[in-house]
Structure 1
Amino acid sequence: MEPRRETNKTCGVICLKYLLFIFNILFWLAGGAVLAVGVWTLVEKSDYISLLNSSVYSASAYVLIAAGLIVVATGVIGCCATLKEMKSLLIVYLILLLCIFLLEIIAGVLAYIQYKECFPFCYQLNEELRQNLKVTMQQKYHQPGEESVTHAVDKLQQEFKCCGSNHSSDWTESVWIQAADHARLVPDSCCKTPSELCGQRDHPSNIYKVEGGCIMKLEHFILSQLYILGAVGIGIAFLQLVGMMFTCCLYRSLKEDTY
């Protein structure tokens, strides 16, 4: 009867190893997705996010990248610990899972507290960011030494199909529009079909006239990134609970096998 007991133990360990390995693959993929979103945001979108003159929004990309790297690294450690049946590495892996899980809870609580404290002033904060973007577009567009701002504004308006910070009429106070002799009313990047000097006509059939302007489109984009972070965070938190359970069971099985 003893060999059958050993066989049952071995089968249990093998099943737990496969379950934990599958979990680690899912965990690793989730971390990779978070990392990819963070890098994509930083590489593709940071040029016009910088127009807001605020570190709050750009910080979200760095948070995504850091979270993705930690999750990916933890998943690799989990795979190694599972395949090699290293009890010491399983303990390290379990501690990492627990730390990440606790950090997620703390971050969620702090975010909720900050939101509640910010609530009466959120409108003023959004207005300040709107004014920052408006001033940047009006004062720095097509000005000497501000080539990066010019490129970012053109990219922002074309990609989000908008014109001006709050409205296309914002461009009437632009230093570039007032000083130049090109007779443009808006930049050519405001046009639905961009071409040289197309900004001379600001009719809705020619340029983008979006209610709320580019700042509204930019805020929606940033909020979508935060929603992605929150959704993936909830998914990872659930996976962590499952992973911790599998890790504890595998560690216990391996410990019993040594006796």
Structure 2
Amino acid sequence: MSCLKCLKYTMCLVNFIFFICGAVIFGLGIHLMTSSRFSSILPSLQAMNIANTLFIIGIIITCVSFLGFLGALKENRCLLISFFILLFILMLVELSVACVLLVYEAKIENLMTDDLQKGLRNSIDNRKNVTTLVDDWDTVQTTFQCCGINNSSEWGKQIPKSCNTPGNGTHYWPKGCFSKLKDTFENNLLNIGISVIVVCIIEVLGMCFSMTLFCHISRSGLGYK
């Protein structure tokens, strides 16, 4: 019984921490949506710009962790099994995306290049009408210290301030964002792999904990709650 209580409160604590993290991500997404005018760098995924992506991820994390926290705290079978199913679905989606990226890496790279070019042209057209426009291109260029897809010349005469190197408004980041993102991904491939494995382990442990509590409640004769 003491082990089950320990399991119960551990599950509550971990889910509460994830709930706080999800709420922070959710709030950041809302802040970006309300403070800036965003457009996706990938037109085919226009709805999935940075602000919307953070917003959706925040909702998913908060909802799933809330189910796990409340289900463990109240020892509610319905909430626990819902938490188990959602975690299982999330893990399947993550593994499916990873497999698709590995199998179709070359095709995805070509599609992304074409889509980035369309996104860059859209951003250039939008900046002709709104000179103070801030979109996902500015966020990516500032974060990764890059300019354009391959270099700054792709912006033409209207190079955004996010391309400027610190302290010098006439020099721009030498590398394009696509090559910089690709290099960053390849250089951190081990860290990304470890992160994915850690996330999967946490999800598997969450499923095991929830199912253990679910079975205990069923055996204890508490019935359907």
Please tell me whether Structure 1 or Structure 2 has the larger radius of gyration of its CA atoms: 1
Q: 1:209 and 2:174 equivalent? A: yes
Q: Deviations over 1:159-193 (max 9, x none)?
A: 4322233202223x34x4xxxxxxxxx44443323
1:16, 1:246 within 8 Å by CA — same for their partners in 2?
yes
Structure showing the higher helix proportion among its residues: 1
Which of residues 49, 52, 73 is equivalent to 1:80?
73
Per the alignment, do residues 232 and 31 of structure 1 end up closer, same or farther by CA in structure 2, a change over 3 Å counting?
A: farther
Separation of aligned partners in 2, 1:73 and 1:21: 14
Give the corresponding residue for 1:232.
199
Count of aligned pairs: 211
User: Deviation of residue 63 (structure 1)?
Assistant: 4.4
User: Deviation of residue 68 (structure 1)?
Assistant: 0.7
Give the corresponding residue for 2:129.
144
Which of residues 30, 35, 45 is equivalent to 2:18?
30
1:166, 1:214 within 8 Å by CA — same for their partners in 2?
yes
Give the alignment's Cα RMSD to 1 decimal: 3.8
Give the corresponding residue for 1:169.
153
TM-score scaled to structure 1, two decimals? 0.62
TM-score scaled to structure 2, two decimals? 0.69
Show structure 1 runs of 5+ residues with no match: 1-11, 83-88, 177-185, 200-205
The alignment partner of 1:111 has SS state of helix
How many percent of aligned residue pairs carry the same amino acid?
18
Separation of aligned partners in 2, 1:161 and 1:77: 43
Q: Deviations over 1:45-91 (max 9, x none)?
A: 98666233242753643542232122222133224314xxxxxx2x2
Superposed, 1:58-207 pairs within 5 Å as 58=49, 60-82=53-75, 89=76, 91-108=77-94, 110-111=96-97, 114-115=100-101, 118-119=104-105, 121-141=107-127, 143-145=128-130, 147-149=132-134, 153-171=137-155, 173-174=156-157, 176=158, 186-194=159-167, 198-199=169-170, 206-207=171-172
User: Deviation of residue 38 (structure 1)?
Assistant: 5.4
Name the amino acid aligned to 2:133: S
